[in-house]
Amino acid sequence: MFAQLNLEDLLFIDIETVPGRANFADLDEKFQELWALKARQLAKIEPDPADIYERAGLYAEFGQIVCISIGILRETPAGRYTMRLKSFANTNEKQLLLDLCDLLNTKFTGKSYCLCGHNIKEFDIPYLCRRMLVNDICLPQLVDCTGMKPWEVPHLDTLHLWRFGDTRSYVSLNLLAALFKIPSPKSEMDGSEVARVYYEEQNLEKISHYCEQDVITVAQLLLRFKSLPILLPEDVQST
């Protein structure tokens, strides 16, 4: 499969999410009740819903998207690849999603394009679709997998590629990057800090940079899967 994979047909994508409110106490009464029910499902013991509210960003019903980074690879005449990155970051989630949709609907409508990321089939793409519906936005063709069976979803997921049919375990992108000697992604912060950086530091630029590192690392991983040279810092351009 790797030999036939055209890297220029891939649109690499990663999203960053946070809880819908800075604190559990900021939720209205109804959503406090609903999160309390969710918290009981998540915890092995009876939890205080406020204590695990930081996990709300993992669920589209209780979280929101604050940054989306995308990237494309292009081959040079010398046979190396370069990457162009673009990030959408906004405190207004609906505008953020509309900006992404506008790009997808105008630049990536051909049937050959395919979304690519790590664990995007279970997280990024379902989350995107759900938040678009919540914000009354029509799903772009490239992300819409409504009603598809799991094996019909066309997105390319490096987690699934690495499984080779094994579904028993989750392998993080950081682990694969270390295994393939790819420069470590997200060195400035980790996923547990995104909500704090968003609500306390209000630093969308920092979150965007963090998000872009995953996009770059997934591309690097596919280059390694195909036994090609990885990207150098000067090969990556962010717009």
Give me the mean pLDDT over the 187-209 stretch: 90
Give the right CATH number for 2-20+62-227 from 3.30.70.260, 3.30.420.10, 3.40.190.10, 3.30.750.200.
3.30.420.10
Confidence of residue 71 (pLDDT cuts 50, 70, 90): very high
Give me the mean pLDDT over the 52-71 stretch: 96
Instruction: Choose among 131, 150, 154, 165: nearest CA to 58.
Output: 131
For 150-161, write each residue's pLDDT tens digit: 777 889 999 999
* Residue % of the chain over a pLDDT of 70: 96
Annotate 87-106 with DSSP letters as a single string. EEE-S-HHHHHHHHHHHHHH
Instruction: Choose among 101, 70, 100: nearest CA to 214.
Output: 70
Distance from C-alpha of 87 to C-alpha of 238, rounded to nearest angstrom: 8
pLDDT for 185: 56
For 206-233, write each residue's pLDDT tens digit: 999 999 999 999 999 999 999 999 999 9
For 166-182, write each residue's pLDDT tens digit: 877 789 999 999 999 99
Distance from C-alpha of 121 to C-alpha of 137, rounded to nearest angstrom: 20
Residue 18: both structure tokens together: 């946070």
Classify residue 169 as exposed, middle or buried by CB count within 10 Å of its CB (0-12, 13-18, 19+).
exposed
Distance from C-alpha of 27 to C-alpha of 16, rounded to nearest angstrom: 21
Each domain of the chain, given as residue ranges in start order, spans 2-20+62-227
